[in-house]
Amino acid sequence: MKWLKRHLLEWLLNKRRKSAFDPARVKKILILRNDKIGDMIVSTPLLRELKAAWPDVVIHVAASSVNHDIIRDCPHVDRTVLWDHGSLLYNLKVIAGLRRQRYDLILSMSLRFSPSYQFYLKLLGGRHLHGPRIAKYGTTTGNLGMYDHTVDYPADRHILQTYFDALGAYKPENIDYRYELYNVDAYAGKALAFVAGLEDSYAGLVCFNYQGSCANRTLGKEDAAALCRQLADRYPDYAIVVIHPPGDRERAAAVVAGSDRANVMLSFATAHVLELAALVRECDLVVSPDTAVIHIASVYNKKVLGFYVNSGNHRWFYPMCDHFRIMLSPTDSINDIDSQATISAIDELMAT
């Protein structure tokens, strides 16, 4: 069966008429980033550096409704197209609209090798397709003729470097890997008012996030409360601000109550990701599981302590800031990370 799938994929996803890749002929690019908030933030240097190297190129980004707000005001993107995961009819309608754009280069950054996703890529009809080299069904994307350039995603370096390598001959030189966010000031009112109310009482702010991307990457209420209590006792002149995703305020309040410390407090409710970014911008230290909060903190070069499960993400998605510490769980749950080692790592960060 695997043999049949391999040959069927390699036959159907071939490209009979291929032209040599000439960077000078690339006038319009589509970047596929219709996934999560953190993935979009990590990709912002790609948008900036492409536009700086090729100022006349038209850059379109396929975004999801989840991460669209990250680049809504991005000056490096000429158009954003919403493409969520939907029905076959919905996907074909989006693809038809994108196909009419006649892209010279399409960059896929997804590590999915599902037959449906690969067929969607072919239907987009770009002149050139670049992306990751993924192994499945006894073959790799590099063996699919529709791809012009594929690259391995090494586990020992930040994934952003591989995103740039996937551009092949279109890769800019002298790359600046800084993340960006755009128009945060327009959403900063609540954060500035919140911080202003704390300035007379505290020397600084620690932003504490317990929520991860899934259950095993989320701190339990008791563990989160205990860590907040330790932080509050260790740094009594700092406000420990517990942030939370929309709709989870009750749980965040339980973490604050469980800490039983006056300098542990609940953040204001953020209705927009850039309201959260505005708060993170005002903090001195960010403590968080491996999620978008770490990437937001990296935008502002904050000190970051990140909790990671032992899956390799600590190599692909480590914080892109000057001062950070990674707490790596010995298991697939961040709740198994030693709390005393965490406090020691925070002490190191606070001393820098």
pLDDT of residue 2: 64
Q: In the structure encoding, which two tokens stand for residue 236, read together?
A: 């009594």
Residue 31 banded pLDDT, cuts 50, 70, 90: very high
- 248-293: pLDDT as tens digits: 999 999 999 999 999 999 999 999 999 999 999 999 999 999 999 9
pTM metric for this prediction: 0.94
Based on the number of CB atoms within 10 Å of its own CB, is 170 exposed (0-12), middle (13-18) or buried (19 or more)? buried
- 246-257: pLDDT as tens digits: 989 999 999 999
More confident call, 98 vs 111: 98
CATH class of 2-14+25-170: alpha beta
CB-facing half-sphere around the CA of 256: CA atoms within 13 A: 21
CATH tag for 184-350 (out of 3.40.50.300, 3.40.50.2000, 3.40.50.720, 3.20.20.30): 3.40.50.2000
pLDDT of residue 240: 98
pLDDT of residue 1: 61
What are the domain boundaries of the chain? Answer: 2-14+25-170, 184-350
Mean pLDDT of 37-45: 97
Residue 228 banded pLDDT, cuts 50, 70, 90: very high
pLDDT at 4 over 90: no
pLDDT at 194 over 80: yes
Are 292 and 268 spatial neighbours (Cβ–Cβ below 8 Å)? no
- Dihedral of CA 240/241/244/250: which sign? positive
Residue 55 banded pLDDT, cuts 50, 70, 90: very high
| pLDDT cut 70: percent of the chain above it | 99
pLDDT of residue 156: 87
pLDDT of residue 3: 64
Are 325 and 345 spatial neighbours (Cβ–Cβ below 8 Å)? yes
User: Are 2-14+25-170 and 184-350 the same fold in CATH?
Assistant: yes
**Rounded distance between C-alpha atoms, residue 122 and residue 18, angstroms:** 13
* Cα→Cα distances 65→10, 37, 82, 109, 271, Å: 32, 10, 6, 18, 15
Residue 17 banded pLDDT, cuts 50, 70, 90: confident
Are 60 and 30 spatial neighbours (Cβ–Cβ below 8 Å)? yes
- 101-117: pLDDT as tens digits: 999 999 999 888 888 99
| pLDDT cut 90: percent of the chain above it | 86
pLDDT at 89 over 80: yes
- 299-324: pLDDT as tens digits: 999 999 999 998 888 889 999 999 99
